[in-house]
Amino acid sequence: MYKRDKHTAIIKGGIGPGAWLSLLQWLRLLVLSLSRINHYKPDKGSYKPIQSPKNHILSEDSTKTKTLTATKLTNMNPAHKYIKWSVLLLFAFFAKFATAQTVPPPGPFPLTGNDDVCVGQTKNYGVTKVPGHTYSWSITPGTEGVDWILTISDNTITVKWLKSGTYTISVIETNEYTCSSDAVQIQVMVHDLPVCSITGPDNICPGSTNPYSAPAGMTTYAWSVSGDATIPGATNGQTVSVVAENKCGSYILTLVITNQFGCTSTCTQTFNIVDKTAPVLVGVPTDATADCGAIPAPATVTATD
């Protein structure tokens, strides 16, 4: 079985009935060729018997790589030429057949072992495609649409994992003669996403430096900030220091964590910069008493006509 980016696809071999029938036909042709040699007589003066291994129809290459090469034959009567082409065709058949059995067809997403994935993740799986074969896929346990979503495309599938747990993917391959293989299986461990949280002070003072922390035990941490603050130091640890600007406002702190299974979670939190310190008056005089001068009595005004 296989998926994106590791291990080697399973190579399927074996000789089918069609291949055996073709092989027998070629052997029959060779026997008939050999039997016809008595029906021909060599032309006088034009036929020379084979004297040296250099004139063999098939000879071993000098590089000792066990590669058979055909040599050019001359002065052959029709029977020998018939045999020559029969053997050459038979050799070509064997060469093609051997190549077909040892070179696996290309396939995407190679995987032969178990798999670890995260909730919400979509992964591809498959087996090496054999022309004329069909494939039956299943996932246990669970319910379609609740625990996982399965999309089948012949020898490959796409699975979106919805809930954590241990699942088994099975595939049965059936050939053109309706013969089915044993089920090939892999286990898939679906892990929950890590719980992301940010712990630290809010309503902080302008210009202050404030520490924040993330859950312990994660494989990686990544901090970032936007708004009225900066991170002057490292951003890849469990804790981080944030410096607020010297004014009232706010900033957004973002954290991305990854656990040992490669599952990732992101969380953000907004923090306010508030001036909570009362103003201090400078240069205020001490208490004093202010007196007013004597005020004369009001005059009496009368009028006559």
What pLDDT digit, counting tens, does each position of 181-203 carry? 889 899 999 999 999 999 999 99
pLDDT band, very low/low/confident/very high, at 27 (cuts 50, 70, 90): low
Q: What dihedral do alpha carbons 134, 136, 137, 138 form, nearest 10°? A: 180
Cα angle 276, 277, 282; round to 5: 155
pLDDT tens column, 37-82 = 444 444 444 444 444 333 322 323 333 333 333 334 345 455 555 5
Question: So what's the architecture of 115-191 in CATH?
Answer: Sandwich (2.60)
Q: Which fold has domain 209-273?
A: Immunoglobulin-like (2.60.40)
DSSP assigned state of 219: S
Identify the top-confidence range among 69-73, 172-176, 209-213.
209-213
Mean pLDDT of the chain: 75
Q: Range(s) for CATH 2.60.40.10 in the chain?
A: 115-191
pLDDT in tens, 218-262: 999 999 999 999 999 999 999 999 999 999 999 999 999 999 999
Say which residue the tokens 């291994």 belong to. Answer: 53
Say whether pLDDT at 147 is over 60.
yes
Check residue 274 and give its pLDDT.
95
